[in-house]
Chain A
Amino acid sequence: MEIELDNGGLVRQIQAGDRGAEAELFRRMAPRIRLYGLRHLRDAYAADDLTQQVLITALEALRAGRLREPEKLPSFVLGISRVTVIELRRTSQRRERLLETFGPDLAPAAQLPVPRLDHDQLERCVQDLRERERTVVMMTFYDEQTGAEVADLLGISEANVRVIRHRAIHQLRACMGGTA
């Protein structure tokens, strides 16, 4: 069932008990929550758990009419995500309880598309970078060095590292056809 609603309309439909609108909420928000989870938890399984928990919490709140400004749905879900990450870091007990209750309804949330990567092409693209760009990219993405650390190790300014890193990322995306 295709539903094309703005956030305000979507929230009102959910409050009216529309299950299709709830499915649309999941479809719209699950990828965003999962990305947030990957960023903050650095673990795919934890990000999946976060996605489910946030959607459950959001749905409970929306059904109960606790979002007073429906147009602010994205900020509302982000707020829940932030709180949930803090909770997740503290304990996993609540997760288990909620999953027992809602788990079967949430299976689609974990099935998110992941961009395919041509690793051979990526290797060619990285090898085509300038020497400094390649080293900075590797230090940043693999070695997880901050801009200041890279600058110190390479004897250049932090601003210069940022310029090199940004130029390299743009070149890599272009080399990968913008679908890296």
Chain B
Amino acid sequence: MKTEHVDSAVLADYWLGLRAEEAIEEHLFACDRCCDRLREIVSLAEGIRQLARKGSLRMIVPDTFLKRATADGVRVRQYAPPPGGSVECTVTAEDDVLVGRLAANLSGVWRLDLSLCNEAGVEQLRLQDIPFNSSTGDVIYQESITYLKAAPTNKMIARLVTVDEVGSEQLLGEYTFNHTRSLPGPGAW
């Protein structure tokens, strides 16, 4: 086993406690190269944890993620506009993470995209094939707090769009976020 190096994904599984330990540990104690790669994984893991607490990523998060963040002392601001409705929102200097809860009936959905549009309804960004659980009844979207803290007062329209096997799209829900800037900064981009 000494000459067959351990795949980095397997090392990550080992680090995360998702894999049996003994054979990997025997190898690690005899292989400097794999130890170096495991150190890279450890560094990567810590970097990802810091990134999660920073709230700067645009991504779909589950409820457990928010609970964990709150338990870690991360300040989470949440908005939940109703489908077809809007919500007045802002972000303050004290906020670490900002999410929008997008309620929708997800039963029978094959693929789901999240389309982020400007106030004219023109798509600016699309998150394709987002993860969801049809039993939860909502999608939690984390907006980059770094972006929002710098953003001027503006309106963002989020659309959940279903995509079927042949690529046909259907609007599942539309949600409007009326963002008011509460931090010093530009009035417009």
Query: A residues engaging B (CB < 8 A)?
Result: 28-29, 31-32, 35-36, 38-39, 74-75, 77-78, 81, 113-117, 119, 122-123, 126-127, 130-132, 134-147, 149, 152-156, 162, 165-166, 169-170, 172-173, 176, 178-180
Cβ contact within 8 Å between A114 and B62: no
Q: A74-B30, A154-B132 are in contact. Are A146 and B47 (CB under 8 A)?
A: no
Instruction: Identify which of residues 67-101 in chain B touch chain A, using a CB-to-CB cut-off of 8 Å.
Output: 68
The prevalent SS among residues of B at the interface is helix
Q: Of the candidates B8, B29, B51, B134, which one forms a contact with A32 in the assembled complex, judged by CB atoms under 8 Å apart?
A: B29
Instruction: Identify which of residues 101-116 in chain B touch chain A, using a CB-to-CB cut-off of 8 Å.
Output: none
**Cβ of A126: which chain B residues have Cβ within 8 Å of it?**
48, 51, 57
Question: Interface size of B by Cβ–Cβ distance < 8 Å?
Answer: 52
Q: Is B130 an interface residue (CB 8 A)?
A: yes
Q: A114-B43, A131-B127 are in contact. Are A32 and B68 (CB under 8 A)?
A: no
Q: A139-B62, A142-B68, A165-B9 are in contact. Are A155 and B135 (CB under 8 A)?
A: yes
Q: List 16 A-B contacts (CB under 8 A).
A: A28-B32, A29-B29, A75-B29, A115-B39, A117-B44, A122-B47, A130-B129, A132-B130, A141-B52, A142-B48, A142-B65, A143-B65, A143-B68, A144-B16, A165-B9, A179-B40
**Cβ of A115: which chain B residues have Cβ within 8 Å of it?**
39-40, 43
Cβ contact within 8 Å between B57 and A154: no
Instruction: Identify which of residues 126-144 in chain B touch chain A, using a CB-to-CB cut-off of 8 Å.
Output: 127-135
A134–B42 Cα distance when bound, in Å, is 18
**Cβ of B7: which chain A residues have Cβ within 8 Å of it?**
166
Cβ contact within 8 Å between B64 and A153: yes
A145–B135 Cα distance when bound, in Å, is 19
